[in-house]
Amino acid sequence: MLLWPRVILRILVFIGLTLSLAPFQFIFSFVPRLRDVLPRTFHRLILKLMGVQVRVHGGLPEKGTLMVSNHVSWFDIVSIGSLIPVSFVAKKEVKTWPLFGQLANLQRTVFVDRRPGRHTAHTSNQLADRLASGDRLVLFAEGTTTDGTRLLPFKSSLFASVERAALAPTKKRRPSDIKVQPMTVTFSESHNMVMGRRQRGNFAWVGDEALAPHLLFMLLRSCVVIDIVFHAPLRGDDMRDRKTMARASQAKVREGLDQIRGRRLAAQLKNR
C-alpha cells in the first residue's frame, strides 16, 4: 500500500497521460505511421507509474498473428500493449468507454457484436484481412473477464476469421499466412510473494464491476508482477476448424497458468 501523497500524485499523472491522448488522435489522422508509437509508450508509462513488472516467456508473435488469450482485467490491455504493436478484438461497447475507447481507436481495435448470431461474415472477413495485412490481433477468447483462477470455454465463433481464410482464400490472404498463437496472462506476485487464489481475485476485474474503484485499487498497489506466456503457434490438426482451434488454444492457455503458478510456488517454497 502506498502513502496517500504518492497515490494522489499517481492519480494526477494518470489523468494527465489520459488527457494527452485526445490531441494525438487528431495528429495520427495525418501521420498514420506513428500510430503504433503512442499506445505502446502510454502503456509502458502506466506500468512504470503503477510499479508493475511484466515478465515475458516464449517468443513474441510474428506479424499477421492472431494472439489468443485469457482475460483477467482491463490491465491485460496495458500489459500486452506495452510489448509490441498490437490491435485488439473487442466488443463494440468498448468504443464508448472513457480512456479505453480512445486507446482502442488509436490501436485500430476491431469492434465486434458478441451477441449470439451477430458475428457475421463481414466481421470474419475484416479480421482475416487485417491478419493478412500483417496486423497482430489480440483476441480474448472467453468473451469476458474471469477471476484469474479459472478459464471459461473459449468461444469458437471468434475463430471464424481464420476458418474463413482457410475455406475461402483470396490473393490477399492464404491459410498458411495466418497464425494462431495462444497466450497466457496471469497476475503472479505482489511484493515478491506468490499470489494466492484470493489475491488474484482481488486484482481481477470481473463482470459488471465498476471501472473507477478497480482503477483506484490498482493505483494503490505497487511491486506487482504479471507473467505473459507466448506459446508456440498452433499447427496441423489443431488448425482444422474453429472449434478445434478454440479447444487447442484453451488447453495451451490452461497449461501456461498451471506452469507459471507451479513454478513460482516451487521457488517460494525452496527459498523458505
3-state secondary structure of 151: coil
| pLDDT at site 269 | 43
| pLDDT at site 133 | 86
- C-alpha grid cell for residue 152? 471459461
| pLDDT at site 33 | 67
| pLDDT at site 59 | 93
Q: For residue 65, give the nearest of 183, 236, 153, 145 by alpha carbon.
A: 183
Alpha-carbon 253 to chain mean position: 13
Which letter does DSSP use for residue 97 in this model? S
List the chain residues with pLDDT less than 50.
266, 269-270, 272
Whether 90 contacts 74, CB under 8 Å? no
